[in-house]
Amino acid sequence: MADTRDLIIGIDAGTSVMKAVAFTLQGRQVASASARNAYVTGEDGSATQSLDQTWVDCVAALKGLGARIDNLAQRVAAIAVTGQGDGTWLVGAGNRPVGDAWLWLDARAAPTVDRLAGEGADRARFEATGTGLNTCQQGAQMAHMDRFARDLLDRAEVALHCKDWLYLNLTGVRATDPSEVSFTFGNFRTRRYDDTVLSALGLSHRRALLPQVVEGTEVLHPLSPEAAAACGLLAGTPVCLGYVDMVMTALGAGVRSGGQNAACSAIGSTGVHMRAKAVEDVVLNAEGTGYVICLPIPGIVTQVQTNMGATINLDWLLQMGADLLAEFGQTVSLSDMIARIDPWVAASRPGNLVYHPYISEAGERGPFVDARARANFSGLSVRHRFPDLVRAVVEGLGLATRDCYAAMGALPPELRLSGGAARSAALRGTLSAAVGAPVRVSHREEAGAAGASMMAAVAIGAYPTMDACIADWVDPGLGQAEPPAAEEAARMDRLYTAYRQIRQGIAPSWETLSARPATTTEDERSVA
């Protein structure tokens, strides 16, 4: 009887959407289904998500996929799972949640981050993990819990991440992967837990909470009968624990191809900039920022810098224009304004206007960390009009991208782009000129689910190596290389010098500007 198992299901548990995507063994996307996630925020900076509801959402997405593909259960060769990184998902007796998960959005650990960052041991932690300490991370959150919510850790038996929780529900196995381990509690060189890191976080006495490390390209666990019944799949189906969604997306979008390391930027609300490197080529910056996250390829990691605000800068400027038009009775949607970006850039003249895209009220996190950082235009004159401002903001995103890659060492020889913003010719040309390298757009849909599914494809023997899998799954989806215009590359090189000078010069003013203005009393207002 012929083997009918010709599909891999990739589960991608994002912060707001849970996706289940079916791919052929050769990487063609067949169908997808999704369910909305929900999380709760509080005035204390909390951002939490129900573990039980997250599993319910995963089941719903898998059932939705089954409704779209005939005989799905019999066709599934493997299931792979990835998901949002960082955060703390505590599980106790009977594999039941201790409470709601603390998400990567949770800011309650900020005082603990400040305390740990000021201690002498933090540089040693950074040298091991390659990752700057921030409130997103499980290490910082657990260190905060250990002081201010100790009962949570006392009642827990294991500290997981989002995808690990789903893997537990799918297989009954408590585990995590090398990527989460290396940038949270471990060493990116060994892909194992590191005593120096645990000591620096003050968590050596909590080591028993850390789960086993499973390499998903080598180790699979069977789908449990309980999970199979819930999802409508077959018990015993191999399940692969993928790496964190950030590097799964990078893998699916082309951060490595043709056996060569490359760079990949995802330009969305935030900017995520990743470069695949051999471990020995990693350059750690003096500021102690960014991430180093393992890829599921021996000896290869991604070095990552993320800038807080990318397309939200354009949204802000375009909404200003729409609001002004509304004052005169002209209703224009933001999507209508976005469609005008390329024509406005084309209508403007290349010049010397510089924009720093720190529009987020959370400031900046890459390649430097300053919650008080704010956006600004430099070089304005009476001749500048709205299209010039649009051009400056687009170029600001390009300069911020270069700033992030420069913090990782030499600029990349080629840049792959993913995300909806990559459809803009103006943005592609600007990024190419800013980095001084050709850009190629990745046309792979659902790159995160694809990256995890690629790991499963290797694990079940469909491909002998990840590079062989990449040749089928990634390379055909990369667009043609678009080289930078020589004169634009030279201009952006000059603007970058000014960009750095202005950023470093204005930084001391951010603290002054962040001070709360003195309040005016009722008596003072009446006198005025």
pLDDT tens-digit readout, 148-189: 999 999 999 999 999 999 999 999 999 999 999 999 999 999
CA distance 114 to 118: 6
**88: how many CB neighbours lie within 10 A of its CB?**
29
HSE at residue 228, side-chain half, CA atoms within 13 A, is: 18
Element (H, E) at 193: strand 192-193
Coil, strand, or helix at residue 181? helix
Q: Tokens 């080591």, residue?
A: 207
- Output the six-digit token pair for 521: 């009393």
Q: Which residues have CB under 8 Å from 445's CB, separation 6+?
A: 29
Instruction: Give the residue among 117, 121, 106, 90 at the shortest CA–CA distance from 198.
Output: 121
- Output the six-digit token pair for 139: 């290490």
CA distance 319 to 316: 5
According to DSSP, the β-strands at 300-307 and 291-294 are: antiparallel
Residues in a beta bridge with 17: 36
Instruction: Give the residue among 5, 14, 153 at the shortest CA–CA distance from 79.
Output: 5
Q: Is the dihedral of CA 229, 232, 237, 241 positive or negative?
A: negative
DSSP 209-224: GSPEE--TTT--EEPP
DSSP label of 340: T
According to DSSP, the β-strands at 76-83 and 238-241 are: parallel
CA distance 6 to 64: 19
pTM to 2 decimal places: 0.88
**Maximum pairwise Cα distance, the chain:** 92
State phi, psi for 364 to the nearest 5 degrees.
-130, 150
Coil, strand, or helix at residue 280? helix
pLDDT in 10s for each residue of the chain, 528 residues: 457 899 999 999 988 889 999 999 999 999 999 999 889 989 888 999 999 999 999 999 999 999 999 999 999 999 999 999 899 999 999 999 999 999 988 889 989 998 998 888 999 999 999 999 888 899 999 999 999 999 999 999 999 999 999 999 999 999 999 999 999 999 999 999 999 999 999 999 999 999 999 999 999 999 999 999 999 999 999 999 999 998 999 999 999 988 899 999 988 878 889 999 999 999 898 888 899 999 999 999 999 998 888 888 999 999 999 999 999 999 988 888 999 999 999 999 999 999 999 988 777 878 988 878 899 999 999 999 999 999 999 999 999 999 999 998 889 999 999 877 788 999 999 999 999 999 999 888 899 999 999 999 999 999 999 999 999 999 999 999 999 999 999 999 999 999 999 999 999 999 898 876 655 555 544 444
CA distance 514 to 507: 11
Coil, strand, or helix at residue 38? coil
Is the distance from CB of 399 to CB of 496 less than 8 angstroms? Answer: yes
Residues in a beta bridge with 302: 276, 293
Burial of 208 (0-12, 13-18, 19+ CB in 10 A): exposed
